A and B are shown apart, each in its own frame.
Chain A
Amino acid sequence: MLLEVQDVTKSYPGTETAVLRGVSLTLDAGGMLALTGESGSGKSTLLHLIGGLDTADGGRVCIDGTDLTPLDDSGRAALRRGTVGVIFQQFNLIPSLTVAGNIAFQARLAGRHDPARDANLAARLGLDDHLQKYPEQLSGGQQQRVAIARTLAAGPKLVLADEPTGNLDESSSDAVMALLQELVAETGAGLILVTHSERLAARLPRRLHLRAGRLT
């Protein structure tokens, strides 16, 4: 079992209703699922809990046999470096590093940088001509490809994608999604895709829907 989420709850101070009200799900190694729901349904929050970006109020998140609940900041940081890769809607590239620098960055952080893999990913994602450019010189679609390359270059066991194409137009959105799916499948990693787009969700074999903090 790659991922096991058990009865997770989460609420934010100052809000009356909990964001997550007892969510449970599992994902096998290499499994892919789409997480859909309305804005505010808690799908991003769930993703952040799984990615170790935030901590749950109750319940348990296990990744690859590791329980995230007792981990401190540096433990969760280590998880983000090595096991889980997050692809954000805002790309979150480092603006002062070149495309090549950004792609290599997380792998170097995790201590398993492989230039050959970088080159392969860059070629597959069509970034070959842009390696020495800075993120601000790229279009949105290109920036997201850099973010995907960065995540996959570190060789995560689980890829979490939070509206990865939310800032892209439809055509580049489809192209990026197709590449993401293909590359994740090749690495054998699991994938959880958070999206509000039915069309994108339909691309994945499994689909969960969140409504008002519960899976339906």
Chain B
Amino acid sequence: MNVKTLFLLLFLPAQAMSQGFAGLGTTADGFATPQPGRALDFPADHGPHPAYRIEWWYLTANMTGHDGTPYGLQWTLFRSALAPRDGEGWDTPQLWMGHAAMTTPEAHHVAERLARGGIGQAGVEPAPFQAWIDDWAMQGPDFDTLTLTASGADFAYDVDLTATGPLVLHGQNGYSVKSAAGQASYYYSQPFYDLTGTLTLPEGDVTVTGQAWLDREWSSQPLAEDQQGWDWFSLSFDSGDKLMGFVLRGASDFTAGTWITAAGATTALPDGAFSATPLAWHEVAGREVPVEWQVRLPEQGLDATVTAINPDAWMTTSVPYWEGPVTISGSHTGTGYLEMTGYDE
């Protein structure tokens, strides 16, 4: 069984290949489902929620070298439960997967790690905060002060993160609806990290500074059965405002998002308020993927073009997808990250 099959199986206990991206649309037997009105509790909610089927700690960063070269990095820890319980040793149904990537305008480096829970090879502790898989770690005395490390066969990074703003809760106080039928997840972010650190590239080390955005999400069934994938934007404008917006592609598209002011005040965007339209497509790994988008949010006067810094930012992981840094031009300018899933060959 190769790793790819393995991972597919890992996320697909119920032969649900056709049902949504990576099986996220399957029904959640025995797993807890998100309920509106539950208040998030920190720091406890920084830690894992084993009663829910999937969960992630998802950090992306836009950075600049001293010569002005733009860089992007990604650090993600996924948790996936085969059954809604925790446990010690090999018996635990909790499985972990790490994705790390580093993107330059010319290159895109990817690494992946898989681990069983229960033996200490991977896990998350809420306080002091510690999330790790193998030698990759995101840790610090609290959620606002973190160091982040990862390494692959041809790259490594080691950066420090300092939060300059509050946590941001999406949807209704962190209850984020993902389809018209009501599928939902718990979803909050820390989009205000300042970053300094070192990237290790095949050509040598680069000192960088920049901004990072951490997403936290857990659920048991975040996608409707007809939803094939999503296009997810995290945009930081030069004005200091930020936008999280996503399009869930299905029988009819479902969009949602959050407008975040420089001070951290949020406005949840209802279905249809935010829109994103592909402008240019690019062939990568045998498929056509949109790498230039027209993004609109009329109520904030936003009408901007989002362009991939490296259109080849393809994640050659067990479940492949596109994830990379972008630049923004038009009514607003800035940088951000784009994630696109469910583009089949």
Asked if the two chains touch in their complex, CB atoms less than 8 Å apart, one says no
Chain B residues proximal to chain A, CB less than 8 Å: none
